[in-house]
Structure 1
Amino acid sequence: MSQNEKLGAAFSQLRTGNFVETLRLCEQFLATSPEDASFLCLAGQASIALKQFDNAEKYIDDAIRVSPDFAPAFEVHGDLMLLKGDPGRACASYEVAMRLDPGRNLTHEKLERSRQLEKAAATAKPAAATRKPFEDELRKAVAFETNGDLQSAEMIYREILTREPNHVEAARLLAGIAVHHKRYRDAEVFLKKVLEIAPDHARAWLDLANVQRELDQLDDAVESARQVLRLAPGNAESYMAYAGAIGMTGAHEEAIEAYQRAIAMAPEKAGAMCAMAHHQKTVGHQNDAIASYRRAIAIKPDHAEAYWSLANLKTFRFEDEEVAAMQALLRDESLPDVSRAQLHNALGLELESRKDYDAAFQNFAACNKIQRLSESYDPVETETTYDRIIDLFDADFFAKNAGAPASEITPVLVVGLPRSGSTLIEQILASHSQVDGTHELGDLTRAVQSVRRGKNRRARFPDTLAELTPADWQGIADEYLQRTEIFRSGAPFFIDKNPNNFVYVGVMKLAFPNARIINARRHPLDSCFGSFKQLFASGQPFTYDMIELGEYYLQYQRLMDHWHAVLPGFVLDVQYEDVVADLDSQVARLLDYCGLPFEEACLRFHETNRAVKTASSEQVRRPIYSSSVNLWRNYEDHLDELIQILQPILPD
């Protein structure tokens, strides 16, 4: 085994949390090569994780001695200094690491965290007196957190709060750990407690705004972000927080202006530049978006998200130098997995545009192999859930629960699998004067969950729906309309283009008998492979494994067949290939189904000026085209597993 292979094996053990084995492999190699800086540094990291701090200091000092230009050694030294309660020396070490290697994003984040720790006392003046006795504990907890030991950090924060319930920083940092575990409601409770004690704590307002965004409490998030601006108007982060909150409400132009303010204050903020580009893309300012993404890369050459976002425009082509830069980044073993997945996906899309389909597929597969490790998906749970939906929503159930009044507002749900033409359907309908286009909303799920909370909390979806009364179904309708009001402009129809809502067709029939459900369909192999090659910003965990993807499609088809059987005529299937082949008749068919008069603008959908947030945003701003039909055939040699799984439905 070569030196690089041995280092890779030790690094792999470190990444999986097997610190004892990491240290054993390092010591084994160092016994014969005692001055290898990479192994010394890795041994120091493992020793820190094992809380063997004296051992760690020896390894790190040796690494710096034998290789004084080795940036990782200074980064690990900074980590150790934080744990020893010396954030000043930690900052100094991180700054050296940044000078030696300016592209080290994680080092930059650690430097910022250590600086924040030094400033913590000044940030929360009302709690300064009560916090002072716990400064050593706080430093130690933050150091544990910085190095990924959240459990040890959480124990310290909770111990501080047991002894001093009004300790502001412990409560705020504990909220941060709750956020890491996606316990957003817990985080909200901690942060509101902080703000009761210290109402002018700008960082707590910032954290609360971010948590409220995760909870889809968008009005509250905007108000919290305004508090951040009030308290810290001179900080770029304040405008970034406001831009992030206001942008989620659909105020994209205002978000762009706020990001521009942030960038004017801090031109080195690559993240702000990239976030601004997302909004520029959404409102159709493609050239501005491209320039902003490229500026983010110029500021931070390893900004993988910017590369991925450029590729995700679908109409953009990279220069050869940019392709080479992405390939070089992938050769860096320290590159985070999330960045690695983004770069593989970007390269896959670029190589596809160059008709190098084999190389494109290899990159798509590499991206998905990485991404699948971070996703939680159980195909058996999907199948059993759909079994229960089919069992519950039978003809008798609909007859027993029928009778809800028609709403004055008509929701139009566009459902199906991702990458099946749903954005095209949305753009066609949103071009009509009586239809509000929104985006992929998550509000229907939350409306159903809200009604379910008052029922049997132990029961799963859809079982609790069996207990609902007519008032409960009306409650779902009322809450759904209330939650979506922020995205609507007063038209009698509005579109919710969340593909996953096909599981709620029965719910919509009972809550909104006048709803329109449009099932966006595409050739199964194009639909599935289109999903496979799309790296989604969130959700769709079934799309990263070819077998799981094929099985999911069969379950989707089974459920849609059920809806057609028990609710004949309620759902309209629209085939993407038919829309491409005969736009005029399919537009007429869509409008007739919705009960809308014909408008010429629906045929000229690509001219409609509206925000489009999905990956197809630039594609639907072009006239209809057929190049995506049967695209799967270019990859046929790689799709044997998928074809075999889908074989029962392919003849249709």
Structure 2
Amino acid sequence: MAADPRMAGLAPEVVATVHAGARALRDGDPRHAETLLQQACRQAPGHPEPLRYLAILQLHTRRAPQAIDTLQRALALAADDALLHSDLGTAASACGQADAALDSWRRACELDPAQPTPWFNLGRNLQQRGDTDAAIDALERATALAPTLLPAQVLLGDALAHAGRFDASAARYREALRLHPACGDAWRGLSNIKTVPLGDDDAALLRAQLQRRDLTAADRVAMGHALGKLEEDHGRYEAAYAAFQAANGLQKQLTPWRAQPFERYVEEALAATAHLPPPLDPALGQDAIFVVGLPRSGSTLFEQILAAHPLVEGAGELPDLGIVLQQESLRRGLPYPQWVADATAADWDRLGRQYLGRTAHWRNQHPRFTDKHPDNWKHAGVLRAMLPGAVVVETRRAPLETAWSCYKQQFYAQPHFANDLTDIACYLRGCERAMATWRARDPGHIFLHRYESLLENPEPAIRGLLRDCGLAFDPACLAPHRATRSVRTASAAQVRQPLRAGTARAVAYGSLLDPLVSLLAPLLS
């Protein structure tokens, strides 16, 4: 076996110790691995490679801050080592240092542009923060350098779909399936391009792959959802229902969602937010527009309409509100919302400014921005204290359509309420109850907008939406499908179609959905 050039300059016994440490980590013995790698670092204090292996172990054992320190020691010995910079990016990302991670990956790409891994990491994380065009460039470099790198092909397909380049996106997903016909992520991506139905050849391939015994559960779930969507597109509703039921049943077994903690959360959040201190600055957050509500309720379309306005940046699903509140929970040693009643006006002002600081780059081009993270409705009750100038747009769709659309959609974050019809009904009831309460408490900032009303009579609905957001009417908002922004949700293809009514799908299933109708009876009335 050829000698590893990265080990050049190390004594044979040190190389053997490093390799033994790597084997111990691979074999599931991190404690022994660390003993060996620390020994190698002491034996060769002037060489970066034992330090790099030690940092990999520290990352593997979830000690990213220590990995950063170790990699910086290695870079002090080899400042222009691309792989060290790439690993430093991974460690920084694990610590939540997104900007530092991107800087490290960019540096690695500059130092050694022939290495695919830094391009892949750069592209993946640019895509996560919404810089889709730059992500596409980086992922195209990664796939050109490593055509068989399956995750890069899939992520490039995702990025192209988010940019509205659906033919190119489908080609990348097809290439991923050529490499691995049971790649659930690729099937999910193809299925999410809802304007281009999968065909009979796809159906035959999906059914054949689902017969394999070596499938991972994740791939089986994703392919089950894709098959269900395919059957629905071809009018085979009983087969579609069966496919969705099998996929969701498996996912629920893997990651069960529990209704009781959710219902308890709603009760606690409503009680904790009943009385909040008057804000120090009533205008704080006036540049933010939160679009909240159930998944599949039309929130992406409402955001797309707002993003067509010349004063608004459509930022998509930002995690920052939840992160700020989670960090405050860690600081206080209490879970949210148990500490809410104890927070002062100064506390809320501080938290609001933290959120605005984290999201500042979304206001570089436009003075206002949207945030439509699906979980933000859970925090709408504190916004009148934390970001009192912000507008909250609650989107609502007919309960049966919302519920069934959730059941048909595979969600990345698990456990998820959408894997079970009873859980979906529970979640809908909780969300609508909470939002109705918070809207009554803050009627000047929280507004309800209905999906069906928008589609049936677009212009009055859009004028009302803009008025609630404090925006002057702009004709561009009447044609949101022409907006060129990146859309990073499962509705990326749908919102690039002209507005049209008649989008109901659940009715086609007839009596198959009678159990769901019964569960939703309180909402339907």
Q: Which residue of 2 aligns with 1:638?
A: 512
2:465 is aligned with 1:590: yes
**From 322, 332, 336, the counterpart of 1:445:** 322
Q: 1:385 aligns with which of 233, 240, 265?
A: 265
1:360 alignment partner in structure 2 = 240
Q: Paired residue for 2:439?
A: 564
Match of 2:307 among 421, 430, 446: 430
Equivalent residue for 1:324, pick from 177, 201, 204: 204
Deviations 1:560-607 (A, max 9, x none): 122133223431111111111111110011011111111101111111
Residue 208 of structure 1 deviates from its aligned partner by 4.3
Say if 1:371 and 1:131 are closer, same or farther in 2 by CA, change over 3 A.
farther
Partner secondary structure for residue 524 of structure 2 = coil
Partner SS, residue 359 of structure 2: helix
Question: What's the offset of the Cα at 1:415?
Answer: 0.4
1:538 corresponding residue in structure 2: 413
CA distance in 2, matches of 1:551, 1:491: 38
Whether contact under 8 Å (2:285, 2:352) holds in the other structure is no
How many residues in Structure 1 have an aligned counterpart in Structure 2? Answer: 514
Tell me what 1:512 maps to: 387
2:22 to 135, 138, 144: 138
Per-residue CA deviations over 1:105-133 (Å, capped at 9, x if unaligned) read xxxxxxxxxx9xx95x8369789975643
Shift, 1:476, TM fit: 1.3
Give the CA RMSD over aligned residues. 2.6
Shift of the alpha carbon at 1:370?
2.3
- The counterpart of 1:177, out of the listed 50, 60, 70, is 60
Q: Which residue of 2 aligns with 1:181?
A: none
The aligned counterpart of 2:125 is 245
Assess, with a 3 A threshold, how the Cα gap between structure 1 residues 270 and 454 changes in structure 2: closer, same or farther.
closer
Seen in structure 2, the aligned counterparts of structure 1 residues 339 and 207 have a Cα distance that, compared at 3 Å, is farther
State the TM-score, normalizing by the size of structure 2. Answer: 0.90
Classify the secondary structure of the residue corresponding to 1:453: helix
* 1:173–1:214 distance in 2 versus 1, CA, 3 Å: closer
- Kindly provide the amino acid, as one letter, of the partner of residue 132 in structure 2: H
The question of 1:420 aligning with 2:289 is answered no
Distance 1:213 1:623 in 2: 38
- 1:260 equivalent to 2:140? Answer yes
- Structure 1 unmatched ranges of 5 or more: 1-87, 89-114, 145-151, 179-185
Q: 1:486 matched to which residue of 2?
A: 361
CA deviations on 1:43-101 (whole Å, 9 max, x unpaired) are xxxxxxxxxxxxxxxxxxxxxxxxxxxxxxxxxxxxxxxxxxxxx8xxxxxxxxxxxxx
- Mapped to 2, the partners of 1:376 and 1:613 lie a distance apart of 26
**Matched AA of 1:485:** A
TM norm structure 1: 0.74
Cα 1:138–1:211 shift into 2, 3 Å? closer
CA distance in structure 2 between the aligned counterparts of 1:206 and 1:420, rounded to whole angstroms: 40
Classify 1:156/1:232 alpha carbon distance in 2 versus 1 (closer, same or farther; 3 Å).
farther
Q: Distance in 2 between matches of 1:280 and 1:134?
A: 41
Asked which structure has the greater CA Rg, the reply is: 1
Correspondent of 1:221 among 97, 101, 104 = 101
Matching residue's letter, 2:158? H
Q: Secondary structure at the match of 1:454?
A: helix
Task: Give the conservation status (yes or no) of the 8 Å contact 1:409–1:492.
Answer: no
- Look up the match of 2:71: 195
1: CA distance, partners of 2:445 / 2:168: 42
Q: Do the aligned residues in 1 keep the contact of 2:191 with 2:226 (CA within 8 Å)?
A: yes
1:279-290 superposed matches below 5 A: 279-290=159-170
CA-to-aligned-CA distance 1:7-38 (integer Å, 9 cap, x gap): xxxxxxxxxxxxxxxxxxxxxxxxxxxxxxxx
Q: Distance in 2 between matches of 1:335 and 1:203?
A: 33
Work out the CA distance in 2 between the residues paired with 1:405 and 1:302.
53
How big is the shift at 1:408?
A: 6.7
Q: State the AA in 2 paired with 1:487.
A: W
Deviation sequence 1:354-399 (CA, Å, 0-9, x none): 11111111111121122223436332111111111111111xx23x
C-alpha distance in 2 between matches for 1:523 and 1:632: 10
CA distance in 2, matches of 1:207, 1:627: 50
**CA distance 1:126–1:578, shift in 2 (3 Å):** farther
Identity of aligned residues (%): 29
Partner of 2:45: none
Which secondary structure state, in structure 2, belongs to the residue aligned with residue 649 of structure 1? helix
Seen in structure 2, the aligned counterparts of structure 1 residues 403 and 363 have a Cα distance that, compared at 3 Å, is same
| 3-state secondary structure, aligned to 2:395 | strand
Letter in 1 for 2:506: W
Q: Paired residue for 2:47?
A: none
The amino acid across from 1:448 in the alignment is L
Q: What are the ranges of 5 or more consecutive residues in structure 2 without an aligned counterpart? A: 43-49
In the TM superposition, residue 195 of structure 1 has moved relative to its aligned partner by: 0.4
Q: Is the 8 A contact 1:249 1:487 kept in 2?
A: no
| Structure 1 counterpart of 2:218 | 338
Instruction: Encode CA deviations 1:614-647: one digit per residue, 9 max, x unaligned.
Output: 1111111111123422x22223433344333322
Cα pair 1:474 1:511 within 8 Å, conserved: yes
Counterpart Cα distance in 2 of 1:297 and 1:252: 23
- 1:450-482 C-alpha deviation (Å, 9 max, x unpaired): 333332x1x211112222222221111111111
Partner amino acid for 2:410? Answer: L
Paired residue secondary structure (2:379): helix
In structure 2, the residue corresponding to 1:436 is in which secondary structure?
strand
Supply the AA of the counterpart residue of 2:517.
I
One-letter amino acid of the structure 2 residue matched with residue 272 of structure 1:
A
Equivalent residue number for residue 373 of structure 1? 253
SS at match of 2:500: coil
Q: CA deviation at 1:502?
A: 0.8
How far did 1:497 drift? 0.8
Q: Distance in 2 between matches of 1:523 and 1:125?
A: 68
**Matched residue, 1:407:** 284
Structure of greater relative contact order (alpha carbons < 8 Å, 6+ residues apart): 2
Shift, 1:171, TM fit: 3.2
Shift of 1:307: 1.8
Q: What is the distance in 1 between the residues matched to 2:520 and 2:285?
A: 41
Judge conservation of contact 2:158–2:169 (CA < 8 Å) in 1: yes
Q: Is the 8 A contact 1:283 1:611 kept in 2?
A: yes
User: What letter matches 1:468 in structure 2?
Assistant: A
Deviation by residue 1:115-173 (Cα, 9 ceiling, x = unmatched): 9xx95x8369789975643643531431x2xxxxxxx4333334446767876355334
